Amino acid sequence: MANTFVLRKEKNNIKLSLKFRQNRVIYSPGKPFEESDNTEVTNLIKHGVFSFELFNLDKHTGRLFKSCIIWEIKGKSENEKPYKKSRLII
C-alpha cells in the first residue's frame, strides 16, 4: 500500500478484517479485500461500466481517470455475519 492515501476508517476496517481472518470469522484467500476487489471490478465489467481498447503510447498519456477503492467491513452488528465489501469510486 505504499504511496496510497488511506482514510483512518479504512485503516480500521483493514485491522478489523485481519482480526476476523485470524479468528476465522471471515476467511478469503489472498490479501485482505483482494477477493472483494476482484468481485467489484468483475461486476462493473459485466454490467458494461468499462470499455476496453488497446493501449497506444501516442494516444494514451498520463492517467486515464482518477479512482480509488474503498474497503469496508459490513455486518458488524451482533445479528449479522460480517463480510468484506469493496467499492470502486471513479
- pLDDT per residue rounded down to tens, the chain (90 residues): 444 556 777 777 777 777 777 777 666 666 767 888 888 889 988 998 877 778 788 877 776 667 778 888 888 776 777 878 888 887
pTM higher than the cut 0.85: no
- Give CA–CA dist 13/61, Å, rounded: 34
Angstrom CA distances, 14 to 32, 34, 53, 58, 84, stand at 7, 12, 34, 39, 10
How many degrees, rounded to 5, is the angle at CA 33 between CA 69 and CA 79?
105
